Amino acid sequence: MATTQTTGTPVKLGDYSGSSTYAARGGPATFDSNKYKVDSFSYPLDLMGSLGEYGNNYVIFYINAQADSKLIKDGQVQTVQDLTPRDNSDLAAQVRQATATQGASGPIAEAEQKLGASFSAQTRRLATAIALHNPNTMSTKYTINYEPENNEIIGGIIAGTAALKKASEKKGGSNISKDAANQGTAAAIAAGLSIPGTGGFSKLTGLAPNPRKEQIFKGVEFRDFTFEYQFYPRNAQEAANVQNIIYQFKLHMHPEFKDAQNFLYVYPSEFDIFYYNGTQENLYINRHTSCVLTDMTVDYSPNGQFTSFDNGNPTQINITLVFKELATLTKEKIQDGL
């Protein structure tokens, strides 16, 4: 069984005892304050203070802007070295792998050059990240889709085949054809009762088919999850940070026009969300694939009345963020801690 190195102790995958942690792809991530700027996008201001007022637990929202975004091309934002998103799309991963295998002269690379677009949805990690305390409510829902399907026709075919086999095993040629005909006809009638348009036949015989329903696996739901925050800025700097945070979420959840004629959209930015304890990624909490922000609510009067500082900045703002993951889960991803 595979093992992973976590805090110096090998942990077997599948060992879910209280002291174990899941395997993390690439090992535990470390938040590097020298690489990412959170000074203007942090709440509370002392979130990552040395005193550990918040238990040294916080969440970092990394922003991956589309490489074709004007924010990057016009130099409006700074980026760190290009990083592969955590797990943004199975299709995009396949295209990246195929491009790397085929090289610059491969069919995918040639098509990208002719179209002036990338098939692998390249993104660039912004140097500025958003740091917030862990939300008060943290839950993850896993959903697998099964749907019932009627299998009476298949059941009839199987029954008819079994009847023929059973009859063929009997002695005497005359019995074979007779028994096969009787049993095969019965199976065919049972199957025929389920065919659309034969309801009258069912009514005349007083018989209804056994639908032989089975739960059929249909797929895995993309996970979505909600972050709820209440901002109570204590001073002007913290109030400015709150406004910056709200602006960044609003900005990066929306698309932009690629051309002057407004015919094409450039996709919105994506988010990689990490939970940290101290400077290390907290592997006791589920990980997330890369996400998009699909819904955001900003409430400037959560107590039923709008109040503000002297400059008009609200004294309290509540926000609700709904993210949807971009990759579906499999056993392999669950073993990676998702």
Please tell me the total count of domains within the chain: 2
Residues 37 and 185 in one domain: no
Q: Residue 308: which residues within 8 A CB-CB, separation 6 or more? A: 314, 315
Q: Report the length, in residues, of the chain.
A: 338
Residues 43 and 190 in one domain: no
Residues 173 and 213 in one domain: yes
Q: Averaging pLDDT over each range in 152-156, 191-195, 241-245, 326-330, which range is the top one? A: 241-245
Higher pLDDT, 325 or 96: 325
Higher pLDDT, 296 or 195: 296
Residues 129 and 195 in one domain: no
Among residues 198, 218, 238, the one where a domain terminates is 218
Q: pTM for the full model?
A: 0.75
* Mean pLDDT across 309-334: 92
Among residues 202, 218, 234, the one where a domain terminates is 218
Residue 322 belongs to domain spanning: 3-143+223-335
pLDDT in tens, 173-184: 455 555 555 555
Residues 103 and 45 in one domain: yes
Token reading at 26 = 């690439």
Contact between 61 and 253 under an 8 Å Cβ cutoff? The reply is no
Residues 277 and 307 in one domain: yes
Residues 210 and 136 in one domain: no
pLDDT in tens, 250-282: 999 999 998 888 888 999 999 999 999 999 999
CA angle 17, 21, 24 (to 5 degrees): 150
Higher pLDDT, 333 or 194: 333
The pLDDT mean for the chain works out to 78
pLDDT in tens, 37-49: 998 999 999 998 7
Residues 11 and 92 in one domain: yes
Residues 97 and 195 in one domain: no
Among residues 218, 248, 264, the one where a domain terminates is 218
Residues 57 and 152 in one domain: no
CA angle 89, 94, 99 (to 5 degrees): 125
Contact between 108 and 96 under an 8 Å Cβ cutoff? The reply is no
Which pLDDT score, from 0 to 100, does residue 321 have? Answer: 97
Residues 157 and 244 in one domain: no
Residues 114 and 133 in one domain: yes
Which pLDDT score, from 0 to 100, does residue 17 have? Answer: 38
